[in-house]
Amino acid sequence: MSPASARPVAVSEYDDAVTVRRGTEPGRHHGRFSDDWVIGNAVNGGLVMASALTALGHRLRHDTDEHTDHLDPVAISAYFLTAARPGPFTTASEVVRRGRTLSTGQVSVHQPGADGVVVERMRALASFGDLEGAELEREAAAPEMPPPERCLSAQDAPPSFLAQMRFLDRLDLRLDPATAGWAAGRPSGRGSIRGWLRMRDDSEPDPTMLVLALDALPPVAFDLGFQGWTPTLEFTGHVRRRPAPGWLQVALTSQNVGGGLMEEDATVWDATGRLVAQSRQLCGYRDRPSR
Amino acid sequence: MSPASARPVAVSEYDDAVTVRRGTEPGRHHGRFSDDWVIGNAVNGGLVMASALTALGHRLRHDTDEHTDHLDPVAISAYFLTAARPGPFTTASEVVRRGRTLSTGQVSVHQPGADGVVVERMRALASFGDLEGAELEREAAAPEMPPPERCLSAQDAPPSFLAQMRFLDRLDLRLDPATAGWAAGRPSGRGSIRGWLRMRDDSEPDPTMLVLALDALPPVAFDLGFQGWTPTLEFTGHVRRRPAPGWLQVALTSQNVGGGLMEEDATVWDATGRLVAQSRQLCGYRDRPSR
């Protein structure tokens, strides 16, 4: 059971981060990216997607008098155009098609740029459906990992690292020691990072949070010896089940690297070991430092 | 070497299929889906994407006076809304962002529905870049397969099957016998189909054709014992290199099946064994026939 009684009555930090309010123009929502969710100078892409999905979900539910059961994000494909910054943002959502099993929409996230001109940060297509009771008859098994208390907390990283990764303060992230050698300068070269994840504020996972979880670990590029910023160009995630309360288990892999581009595949299982989401992203990387 | 001297001078069947002409309205292109490219009653989704990418590529090149090197589709995420039918179609393209390494756009494919009202068939976000000389330093190896002449030609399928799959006449598709048991009623249950692919008209592959190749094999669902239509809901493909002339090698897998949804992962290698493209799609399936 989640310790609901121990949690503050106020909206959680995570809920607050993805909150949007309806604008006066049709299809517009407004929100604010806190500087608590940055990596370097940019807002974490997973939070940008979770906020955009929250806005699009509102739009799909409220721009019609018809009842819809399509409350769960099932697929999202996001193209990252410019880095989101802390501060206010506006989303523009459009209902593209209401189908029997899925409803599909589009959402863009805008912010004023440095010169005040509005810049598009991200544009996504996404489908919502009903994952109530969804079961898989065939699924990838959760990886073998030591329990969270025997894994490496991201909080134990050097303060200089954490100062650049304020986003990590929002998470309780425990990396499998077998895939954390890169943190001590010894990347395995396998292209694999695994860990346990939950929100620091004890918010329990929901389908929208799974999209954030798919993009929350350190880049798998680190385990291949790359350092620094690996900007996401395109991210597609599929949510397959509603997650159980508790820890999420996340595994990253990458196979194909070159020409300044690599794919990062992510899979998330819930606390009961059931696969709940998967994603692939195409991201850039910088060349390895010369040795 | 490709037998270029033996090929007709006229535009090839494939080139003809993806040809679009610029409309009078900004960002509009017009084309026609031939009934030679159908599966059942619907136009193959790979052809819909290849046609849409052709239109968006035109748009990205021609709506500006600036020179662009971003001629190769690098990423496409397509949401299939309604089944495309043989007949005329119109595309609406938009330039979303011109960046240093990638240019990103959006494209929709429309057709008049049965009642004459225009219906959106597919909407996609896509990024173009320059794959000239792109190399991978790390990549998934091509699978071991018998050579094309020792594989099973799709042309040897029962005529009743081929009559429903006119699209297969456009291809020279040779399935690895080790993954073709489903065609004789003995699906392996592994969720794996592999084959060699080239265009029947000897058109050599290019980056846009790779997107078609990623969605050209029989659905991997067949190897899991499912039958019938497996509509693509969302498809994301990444093109990583320009392909060499000759056969393409395509491998499909699926791991996560349930709730009426499954993912199909596809990887394509060129005739030199180099990885050139990969994709994941979320598709629907019908339950297995009760036995």
Write out the DSSP string of A79-127: EE-S---SEEEEEEEEEEEE-SS-EEEEEEEEEE-TTS-EEEEEEEEEE
Helix (H, G, I), strand (E, B) or coil at B284: strand
What's the mean pLDDT in A215-240? Answer: 95
Helix (H) or strand (E) run with residue A17 in it: helix A13-17
Whole-number Å distance between alpha carbons of B14 and B252: 23
Listed in sequence order, the residues at least 6 apart from B149 whose beta carbon sits closer than 8 Å to its beta carbon are B174
Whole-number Å distance between alpha carbons of B175 and B147: 10
* CATH code, A4-129: 3.10.129.10
Find, in chain B, the residue whose alpha carbon is nearest to that of A287: B137
B interface mutation test: which of A276, A279, A282 has the most B CBs within 10 A? A282
**Residue A249 near residue A268 (C-beta atoms within 8 A):** yes
Alpha helices in B63-115 (DSSP H): none
Whole-number Å distance between alpha carbons of A132 and A181: 39
Which of the pair, B1 or A110, is modelled with greater confidence? A110
Of A237, A215, A95, the C-alpha closest to A167 is A215
The DSSP secondary-structure symbol of B224 reads: G
Q: How far is B83 from chain A (nearest CA, A)?
A: 12
pLDDT, mean over chain A: 92
Q: Which residues of A touch B138 (CB under 8 A)?
A: 191, 224, 255-258
Two domains, one topology: B10-129 and B148-284: yes
Confidence of residue A211 (pLDDT cuts 50, 70, 90): very high
A interface mutation test: which of B76, B132, B240, B275 has the most A CBs within 10 A? B240
CB-closest option in B101, B104, B233 to A127: B233
Which of the pair, B196 or B68, is modelled with greater confidence? B196
Find, in chain A, the residue whose alpha carbon is nearest to that of B80: A104
Q: In the prediction, which pLDDT does A168 show?
A: 87
pLDDT at B3 over 70: no
Q: Which residues of A touch B75 (CB under 8 A)?
A: 79, 233-234, 282
Of A266, A239, A237, A264, the C-alpha closest to A251 is A266
* CATH code, B10-129: 2.40.160.210
φ/ψ (deg, to 5) at B10: -60, 160
Q: How far is A136 from chain B (nearest CA, A)?
A: 4
pLDDT at B161 over 80: no
CA dihedral A218, A221, A224, A226 (to 10 degrees): -100
pLDDT tens, B119-143?
999 999 999 999 999 999 999 999 9
Q: In the prediction, which pLDDT does B291 show?
A: 45
pLDDT at A161 over 80: no
Find, in chain B, the residue whose alpha carbon is nearest to that of A123: B125
Q: In the prediction, which pLDDT does B8 show?
A: 45
pLDDT at A191 over 70: yes
Whole-number Å distance between alpha carbons of A242 and A129: 11
Handedness of CA B206, B77, B106, A210 (dihedral sign): negative
What angle, 0 to 180 degrees and rounded to 10, lies between the N-to-C axes of helices A207-214 and A45-62? Answer: 150
The gap between the terminal CA atoms of chain B, to the nearest Å, is 50
A interface mutation test: which of B255, B262, B263, B269 has the most A CBs within 10 A? B255
* CATH code, B148-284: 2.40.160.210
pLDDT, mean over chain B: 92
Confidence of residue B286 (pLDDT cuts 50, 70, 90): confident
| Domain residue ranges of chain A, discontinuous segments joined by + | 4-129, 148-284
CB-closest option in B101, B138, B282 to A238: B282
Residue B120 Cα distances to A243, B92, B208, angstroms: 33, 10, 21
Which of the pair, B68 or A261, is modelled with greater confidence? A261
CB-closest option in A120, A127, A136 to B259: A136
CA dihedral B157, B254, A242, A22 (to 10 degrees): -80
What's the mean pLDDT in A174-188? Answer: 94
pLDDT at A216 over 50: yes
pLDDT at A114 over 90: no
The residue with tokens 């991200």 is: A122
Q: Which of A144-158, A252-266, B2-16, B128-142 shows the lowest per-residue confidence on average (mean pLDDT)? A: B2-16
What's the mean pLDDT in B232-245? Answer: 98
Q: How many CA atoms lie within 13 A of A203 on its CB side?
A: 22
Whole-number Å distance between alpha carbons of A249 and A197: 6
CB-closest option in A81, A97, A137 to B81: A97
CB-closest option in A127, A256, A259 to B278: A256
Q: How far is A270 from chain B (nearest CA, A)?
A: 15
CB-closest option in A75, A123, A224 to B234: A75
Confidence of residue B189 (pLDDT cuts 50, 70, 90): very high
Q: In the prediction, which pLDDT does A2 show?
A: 45
Whole-number Å distance between alpha carbons of B265 and B225: 17
What's the mean pLDDT in B79-100? Answer: 96
Confidence of residue B12 (pLDDT cuts 50, 70, 90): confident
Q: Which residues of B touch A74 (CB under 8 A)?
A: 261, 282
pLDDT at B2 over 60: no
Q: In the prediction, which pLDDT does A154 show?
A: 83
